[in-house]
Amino acid sequence: MSDLLPGGTRIKDLQFWGGYGTASFTMKRGSFKIKDRVQERIPLTLTDNGERLTLSDARGEHCVAVTLSHSSGVARIELQQTAGEPFTRFWISLPARASERIFGCGETFSEFDLKGKTARIWVAEHQNLSRIMGKVIRNTLSKPAANRKLRFEKYETYYAQPTFTSSARYFVHVDSDAYMEFRFDKAEHLLYLHTMPKTLYIGMSETYEGLSTALSGVLGKQPLAPTWINDGLIIAVQGGTDAIKKKVETALAAGIPLVGVWSQDWCGARITAFGHQVMWNWAHDATLYPGLEALMAEMKSKGIRFLGYINPFMAIEGELYRFASARGFCIKDKDGKDYLTTTTTFPAAMIDFTNPQAYEWYKNVIKKNLIEFGLDGWMADFGEYMPVDAQLFHSDDNTQTHNTWPALWAQMNREVLEETGRQDEIFFFTRAGHTGTVRNSMMMWNGDQHVDWSEDDGLPSVITATLSLAMSGYGVTHSDIGGYTTMPKCLREPELLMRWAELAAFSPVMRCHEGNRPADNAQFDHNNETLTHFAKLTRVHVTLKDYINRCVLQNHEAGIPVMRPLFYHYDEEALYGQPYAYLLGRDLACYPVVVKGQTAKEVYLPEDEWVHLFTGAEYRGGKQYVECPMGCPPVFYRKASPDRELFEQVKKLHDKGITG
């Protein structure tokens, strides 16, 4: 047991407390106010009588049986209370080093290194929409909310998972779905839970690759997405059949390799104070999209797939809601009525996934209305809005069911593909997550970023979010090119869109989003410059598709993330301070431009020999000052890479001209 943690730490060096408390959870537009009251905290002492380990208080009134086992470099500590009133609060203290860096806890946007921070493990809407929406509706926004710096502890996240990785080469995962807070101080990591966890996993390895593989053994393997997604750009189109035809013609005429059209309003639209939003009735809207089936068939014959949108809610104006409500398939409020939740500006009902009949019915909705209709993929949105005060068909404790909801939603989508035999053909991607999402979701996207350059919610934040997910065991992620959330004084400019496309070219998939106010945002076809830019970057992405697909396969087989921190393969202290750069696989070092107006930047390359992907210039490790004009982002390949010939094709594209 002497090797449980680095530095010779033993299980007896961990500290435990049990206790009792109460809490209230108030949700508004997916954001939660949590009032927590600890009533009692009881120190527990670990004893070993030679046959078993136990935790008990000084009076012997409470007792917890501890079972310790090891497998493949992972220590498994199981806890089972055998005496006393069941704990409703539990604390675990693990020794820490002042020099440690901490990463993970799901998806963190504003910070990557969590040392000195407290992470809240509770699935929620990332942006505080109740704050944003009130100001947008009244049109009194004085400045973009994204530029208002908040303390890290104030931010919420779509994907919250009780998993963290240390620079000391170990990970910790807590097997619990309850509300938690992880506080990472200089001398200890204090884990606070609203229940006693079932199991504590602590994995060790000499390398980050070994840690990722060991963690995947705990969390599960991520399903593979179909490889066609890297054959080109997936453009976003809203507004009807004619709009699709026009956008597709424009893209193809500009030389953009198209692989998909994503229409989130395929099932209808509504115009609200927030902008252009989807009508949540999950069936083809023949009025808005006449002749869509024929158009989908025509596009698919040219290699262009059609993707849609769905979430666990239903518009109360729709036929699906009336059917579900009549059969009791919706979650209920305290009075037994359908629980109506407002996400932005309109109320909607949510399907009760704990009801087996409702669960199967919703799966059949996806099978019939999406797959049989002809969709080749969809955004499986939401998952974080399950209200704690709802009445469910089956739930022992909604404060634990809440966190499991996004994993259950991803599971439903995965089961649909497996039951229809379409898992190798259809692509779905999710936004929210918790333990269990990894083994059910093909891919995450980073959610509804602001269409700006802010570190908390804009372009830079998708890099920290992606890397924190990578260090939490989730390895295939992408973002909306250009962001989503548009407000009166926060509109997407062409420069931001094009820089975002440069980042997306070096990610698992390139997919656009028009945003909630399409007419106010620059789109891929904004002008000849944006069209030419997207043509070039998409061709770069397609050139790299075999390399990217091998990285995705490695994630599926060994849990090694596609986009990795710079320090993942290089043990250099300076690399830990690079939250806005990453490795794409083993051999590409990417430094996206995330500052408005920047045309040159200083980068810190890992100690190796590197070649600029676009210019062919060679560099050694350390600080380098490089030019980064539009269309030529600072991306470098390892000179010793076995894929050098493939990477050299990108330079040939660049030298040949914009579209190749």
Residues recognised as catalytic: 381, 384, 448
Identity at 248, one-letter amino acid code: V
**Integer Cα distance of 253 and 318 in angstroms:** 38
Could you tell me if 421 and 136 are in contact, meaning their C-beta atoms sit under 8 angstroms apart? no
Reading the block at residue 353, the tokens are: 């996934």
Q: Which residues contact 261 (CB under 8 A, 6 or more apart)?
A: 234, 235, 236, 237, 244, 247, 248, 299, 304, 305, 306, 307
Strands in 450-532 per DSSP E: 477-478
Could you tell me if 632 and 614 are in contact, meaning their C-beta atoms sit under 8 angstroms apart? yes
Read out DSSP for 594-611? -STT-SEEEEEEEEEEEE
Residue 223: count of CB within 10 angstroms of its CB: 20
Helices within 351-440 (DSSP H only): 356-365, 398-420
Side-chain-side CA neighbours of residue 355 (13 Å): 18
Helices within 544-602 (DSSP H only): 545-558
Could you tell me if 523 and 512 are in contact, meaning their C-beta atoms sit under 8 angstroms apart? yes
Q: Classify the phi-psi angles of 614: left when phi > 0, otherwise alpha if psi is within -120 to 50, otherwise beta.
A: alpha
**Integer Cα distance of 654 and 431 in angstroms:** 34
φ/ψ (deg, to 5) at 410: -65, -40
Strands in 264-406 per DSSP E: 269-272, 275-278, 305-310, 313-315, 340-342, 347-350, 377-380
